[in-house]
Amino acid sequence: MHSMYRNTKIICTIGPATESQKMIEQLVKNGMNIARLNFSHGTHQYHKTLIQNIRVVSKRLHQPVAILQDLQGPRIRIGILTEPVEVVRNEKIIIVPESEFKSLAGKRGLGKILPVQYEELYKDLHKDSTILIDEGFIELEVVKIVGSHIHAQVVTSGIVKTNKGINTPGKELSADPLTKKDRDDIRFGIEHGVDSIALSFVSCADDMVVLKKEVMKRARGGITPALIAKIERQAAMDDIENIIVESDAVMVARGDLALECSAAEVPVMQKRIVGACIRNAKPVIVATQMLDSMIENPRPTRAEVSDVANAVIDHADCVMLSGETASGSYPLEAVAMMEKIIEETEASPYDDAPREFARMFHMSGDRHAIAEAAVDIAITEQASALVIASLTGATIRAVAQLRPAMRILGLVTEEALARQLIFSWGVNPLVIAKQQSVGKLIEVCLSTLEKTKIAKKGDKIVLVAGQKVGIPGTTNFVQVQEL
């Protein structure tokens, strides 16, 4: 079983290689904290089965596992082809709306034709626009636009297959932030209790407002899914601070970001986004190609190892595996390797936050003042753990923002909130019954520490709570306890 006390959390994408309960159990044992379901692929029935499998395994292992629903968003994709189409450098081709493709395919004199699912792509492009297909492996340049038909010349050869992604660097698309499919998927996700929903291709803060309204419309009371903004466009970078404010968490989606902007800019963008999220006490996920070579090989490249380690040193809350665990040949090895890299890096001094870290990311308000005081006291008293009781999780996240050296135990009364707190750096969430007094809360806290072996006899812990126990927003109590 993996270490419970790793600070940086691991997200694994579940797919054909890992869909069974047996494989999901092994992923959890090897280090998975959060399961990502990619709604660009698979039916609702398929995802329902995955959710059931994840919940069964979580219950069996007595270990919370959060579920991240990743929406497709306004993704431009190649439509349905009867067979793959090879395109060769300097060749002329035509891209047409999928609704017109059948009537045009095979007509003499038109040459090779590719269907596109986004019917209005022609409105967003012009002569000399660049079109990238299949993660940029195929490149086209627009020669002219005639009606709804995009005439292009092949710059980089390749084989075009059904459903492959299309990017248009430097061009903002007029598509709605939520497609009809996304709205159907949100309804499904809420009905089946997903813990978070990620929106792809966010352009501005308003896109997250649209998502929030849709989720609230579908919500049935209680804790709603955390909303995650995926940053993969230049426009999103231009509005990053506002997007963070409107989101519960942020994902640095480096694959499309590198295609929409420039691959050389992505490392600096990553650091900027991670820093901005920590400053705003919002979880941040670093994603895409972290151990990409392990899709086919049992060992990662040295560059990939350094990539994961650098995300840990930057204090990212989560790191994510995509194809490595969804469809790769070595999914269990990939998770185990990621955990090993994280543990080695966290054991080094390079990811340690200086005591002044809190001042670097200072936020006003009673909650953050209490969090800073608690961490300061824990350092002075050489406490082994910070134990925070919270009804909403806000104080727990405020403590996690400061990246303290000691363990963070978050005591909450709802399982759904506990799963959402898994996204936060260093937080080990535990569900307890509601308590009527601070005395009872301390009692429960000490017995929980004993059971979980987070602290041992003689250790000091710092307890953070509200003297008005059971009332949200009343955290005002910090106490040192010796076991």
Tens digits of residue pLDDT in 14-33: 999 999 999 999 999 999 99
User: Do residues 218 and 87 both lie within one domain?
Assistant: no
Boundary (domain end) residue, out of 346, 368, 403: 346
User: Do residues 330 and 389 both lie within one domain?
Assistant: no
Question: CA 209 → CA 70, 202, 219, 244, 302, distances in Å?
Answer: 17, 11, 15, 11, 40
Of 335, 369, 268, 468, the C-alpha closest to 17 is 335
Mention every residue, 6+ apart, whose C-beta is less than 8 A from residue 249. Answer: 196, 226, 227, 228, 229, 277, 282, 283, 284, 285, 317, 423
Amino acid at 160: V
Amino acid at 274: V
> What phi and psi, each to the nearest 5 degrees, are found at residue 321?
-110, 135
Task: Read off the pLDDT band of 474 (50, 70, 90).
Answer: low
pLDDT digits (tens, 9 = 90+) for 228-249: 999 998 999 999 999 999 999 9
Amino acid at 288: T
User: Is 82 annotated as catalytic?
Assistant: no
Per the DSSP assignment, residues forming a β-bridge with 93 are 112, 152
480 burial via Cβ count (<10 Å: 0-12, 13-18, 19+): middle
User: Do residues 312 and 454 both lie within one domain?
Assistant: no
User: Do residues 473 and 376 both lie within one domain?
Assistant: yes
Q: Is residue 352 part of a domain?
A: no
User: Do residues 257 and 156 both lie within one domain?
Assistant: no
- Active-site residue, from 8, 13, 18, 36: 36
pLDDT digits (tens, 9 = 90+) for 89-120: 999 999 999 999 988 876 777 789 999 998 88
User: Do residues 200 and 323 both lie within one domain?
Assistant: yes
- Which domain, by its residues, includes 32? 9-73+177-346
CA atoms lying within 13 Å on the CB side of residue 93: 28
Q: Is residue 89 part of a domain?
A: yes
Q: Do the beta carbons of residue 456 and residue 385 sit within 8 Å?
A: no
Per the DSSP assignment, residues forming a β-bridge with 389 are 411
Percentage of the chain beyond pLDDT 70 is 94
Tell which wins on pLDDT, 321 or 448: 321
Distance CA 176, CA 164 (A): 20
Give a three-class secondary structure readout of 402-444.
CCCCCEEEEEECCHHHHHHHCCCCCEEEEECCCCCCHHHHHHH
Looking at residue 276, its pLDDT comes to 94
Distance CA 420, CA 353 (A): 24
Amino acid at 239: D
Question: Does residue 475 carry a pLDDT above 70?
Answer: no
Q: Is residue 395 part of a domain?
A: yes
- Active-site residue, from 9, 75, 164, 230: 230
H-helix segments, 281-330: 302-313, 323-326
pLDDT digits (tens, 9 = 90+) for 443-457: 887 787 777 777 778
Distance CA 304, CA 153 (A): 34
Q: Is residue 4 part of a domain?
A: no
- Active-site residue, from 179, 288, 395, 475: 288
User: Is 288 annotated as catalytic?
Assistant: yes
> Into how many domains does the chain fold?
3
Q: Is residue 476 part of a domain?
A: yes
User: Do residues 63 and 81 both lie within one domain?
Assistant: no
Looking at residue 458, its pLDDT comes to 84
User: Is 397 annotated as catalytic?
Assistant: no
User: Do residues 317 and 395 both lie within one domain?
Assistant: no
Q: What is the mean pLDDT of residues 410-429?
A: 94
Q: Do the beta carbons of residue 207 and residue 233 sit within 8 Å?
A: no
User: Do residues 340 and 309 both lie within one domain?
Assistant: yes
Looking at residue 87, its pLDDT comes to 95
In this structure, the number of other CB atoms found within 10 A of the CB of residue 472 comes to: 11
Helices 44-61 and 21-30 meet at what angle, rounded to 10? 50
Looking at residue 362, its pLDDT comes to 60
User: Do residues 256 and 369 both lie within one domain?
Assistant: no
284's enclosing H/E stretch is strand 284-287
User: Do residues 66 and 80 both lie within one domain?
Assistant: no
What rounded mean pLDDT belongs to the chain? 90
**CATH code at position 277:** 3.20.20.60
Percentage of the chain beyond pLDDT 90 is 69
- Active-site residue, from 9, 77, 282, 419: 77
Q: What is the mean pLDDT of residues 64-76?
A: 93
Boundary (domain end) residue, out of 132, 149, 167: 167
Both tokens assigned to 352: 């340690």
Task: Read off the pLDDT band of 364 (50, 70, 90).
Answer: low
Question: Does residue 179 carry a pLDDT above 60?
Answer: yes
Looking at residue 110, its pLDDT comes to 78
CA atoms lying within 13 Å on the CB side of residue 464: 35
Q: Is residue 402 part of a domain?
A: yes
Boundary (domain end) residue, out of 312, 327, 346: 346
H-helix segments, 202-313: 205-218, 234-238, 240-246, 254-260, 266-279, 302-313
Looking at residue 176, its pLDDT comes to 87
Both tokens assigned to 231: 């940053």
User: Do residues 53 and 81 both lie within one domain?
Assistant: no
User: Is 77 annotated as catalytic?
Assistant: yes
pLDDT digits (tens, 9 = 90+) for 387-400: 998 888 999 999 99
Looking at residue 1, its pLDDT comes to 44
